[in-house]
Structure 1
């Protein structure tokens, strides 16, 4: 693994790379509350066949972390990664919030995305619809209200990030977050301004979350034709996820005509940590078939 800072639009971003640069490229986009190093176990299994590129995204890890919520719009986050990609189309892999950026690239910078792979992440329209129903996904996503609150940083950081660790692991297998891995996460969360930057992704998002049993009735109509994924799309899903439920992907085929779904047994939201071998096999098998 090689790592270092790359200037993107004049701002420093920290990027990790695995594999020979001459190999086909995979852009790996992490979610909350992770950083580019979260891809290590998976990237090691893919590096024989791919050049894996894993940035710390804006607000995370060692990358630029502006304090203002207005600096975390989807267009800004997508713009960071579009600049990193340059002019050569590649395969984009996104997990959790990284999926939002990956979908943004595929929808609004389609010339940069040859293939799209999402791992327990959601397209904005099916997700917003699920959040608005007042049903199971609404209940599972109530934590978003807390993460958007003004005092969320202070509460999450207290007692050695006890509440963030608790939120991170709610009802899911976190046995992988131990030893040196745990130390690395605590180090990244403790960097100056990073916890605020991470939470600003939630604060800047236009997604609206209903209250349980109280559906939102004024969600706008979405222009389906403007939010299409035209490249081949793979959705890899850890079946035991309690944060993102299957209903959050209902109707995805309306936005991705060339969609393949693969389920990973015995995994939840953190499937790339729990089942890196199975996830790597799914990625390589699908990419090879679509090459």
Structure 2
């Protein structure tokens, strides 16, 4: 029997995630305590997205949702608290941001927040928050025309991986005398136990109660799986092992791990760890 083994929300793109026992799944991605996955994003002074690819220390910025604030902690820094409520329109400061050549309108967080991130990352930057008026949709080529909104994700609202897929990779790493790596290297939202290695690649749909997810595109991997999420440093690197058997022709030979997924039914349904997942294969 397939079950949901992990749920992870990433309030700030490229920063640490929050492991949850339960969460709401919306068409735009996971949500908990009215906070969406990738609702915030760190940008440079030109508004261009910053990620762990260039700034691996972002992995050490750890969020926690409190009653009315998002608390952030990082080594050597005083904790920072960001209000969860959206700013009043008259007080809102707007900024233009760029995410993978998409130009979007966003809220600009305050100067104190900018100084905190700039100090920790060692580069002038600011924190932007997704603006609720903005509509950003996943690529219809892969969604087959289904409108799938997302916030500051790389392009799709939900990333699904399987426990057995990581076990398969770790077996191959172990056979080469290499260290095993944890699932957080791949930063999934939902992890499924009880299916075969990379079976998520061939799923037509994933059902959890009234929620119906459709995996639509293999997730190409950048260098981020090479970053130790506990130390914010590169290594050990699994990408050469993945290259040997996880290059996908349908995404121009990119190394893939996990499936980008969209919601077909059950927008707003809650899922929880241990819940049974019905997997329908596409053959």
TM-score, L = length of structure 2: 0.24
Choose between structure 1 and 2: higher strand proportion: 2
TM-score, L = length of structure 1: 0.24
Choose between structure 1 and 2: higher helix proportion: 1
